[in-house]
Amino acid sequence: MIWLFDLDNTLVGRDDAFAAWAAAAVSASDGTEADLAAIVAADEGGFSRKADLARVIVDRLGWDDDVPAAVERFRAGIRDHVRAYDGVLFSLDVLRAAGHRVAVVTNGDSAQQRGKIARCAVEPHVDAIVVSDEEGVAKPDPRILEIALERLGAADVDRRSVWMVGDAAHADVAVGRAAGTRTAWVSHGRAWQGADRPDVVAATTREVIALAASPEVSRRA
C-alpha cells in the first residue's frame, strides 16, 4: 500500500500553532479578544493570501513592519509553535514497518513547509517529501501526486492501492480523486459537505489510518 499524507492539520497542527502564536502576539501588543478573533478569522485556516493576513495583523496590532516582514514574522511564529499530532509519527513507522511506502505531499512555501517538517522531525518517518513550491504544481492538480509516486518508485502502481490522506476537501480529497487514488478525510469533527463522501472519514489522522488499513476497507479496493 502507498500512503500520501498532507502535512498541515494532518500530520502537524498548523492551525493550533497559528492560534498559539496569534494569542501571544496579541497579548504582547496589548490587543483585545476582538483583535485575536479577527486575526484568526483572517487566516482562513491557512488558506488566505498571506499578504492580506499580514495587513490585518499589522492593522490590528499596530506593528511597524511592512507586509513582507509581517508575513515572515507570523510564519516564524508558526514554525516555533508547530507540533506533530500525538502518536501520528509512530503510526507512520508502523505502516513502513509493514512494508508500506509513505510520502508527504504538501502545498506551500518551500522554506516554511521544510521548516515545519524539520521542527516536527517528520522526515525520518517517511520515504519521500514533495512540496508544491519546489515542484511548480500544487494540489488539487494530480501531477503533484504523480511526482510523489515516482519518488516512491511506484509510478505504475494500481491507484486503488494508494491512499491520499488530508484534512482539506478542496485540495487533498480533490487531488486524490483527480489522480484516481482512494481518499481519506481527516475531519477534526467537521461534517462532510456534499453527497460524494471520501472512502474513509474520521476525526483524527490516526483514526483515518486505522480505518483505511483495516481488512474490511482494504477488501473494497
pLDDT in tens, 114-165: 999 999 999 999 999 999 999 999 999 999 999 999 999 999 999 999 999 9
Q: How far apart are CA 157 and CA 37, in angstroms?
A: 46
Q: Are 142 and 179 in contact (CB under 8 A)?
A: yes
Q: What is the DSSP letter of 171?
A: I
In this prediction, residue 221 carries a pLDDT of: 62
Q: Would residue 41 be called left, alpha or beta, if left means φ above 0 and alpha means ψ between -120 and 50 degrees?
A: alpha
Q: Are 185 and 200 in contact (CB under 8 A)?
A: yes
In this prediction, residue 194 carries a pLDDT of: 82
Task: List, in sequence order, the alpha helices (H) in the chain.
Answer: 14-28, 33-43, 50-61, 67-81, 88-97, 110-119, 132-135, 143-151, 174-179, 205-212, 215-218
Block means of pLDDT (10 residues each) for the chain, length 221 residues?
98 98 97 97 96 97 95 97 98 98 98 98 98 98 98 96 97 97 97 92 98 83 62
CA separation, residue 80 to residues 28, 42, 55, 69 (Å): 16, 20, 21, 16
In this prediction, residue 108 carries a pLDDT of: 96
Domain range summary for the chain, segments of one domain joined by +: 2-13+83-218, 14-81
- Fold of the domain spanning 2-13+83-218: Rossmann fold (3.40.50)
Full-model pTM: 0.95
Place of cell 499589522: 58
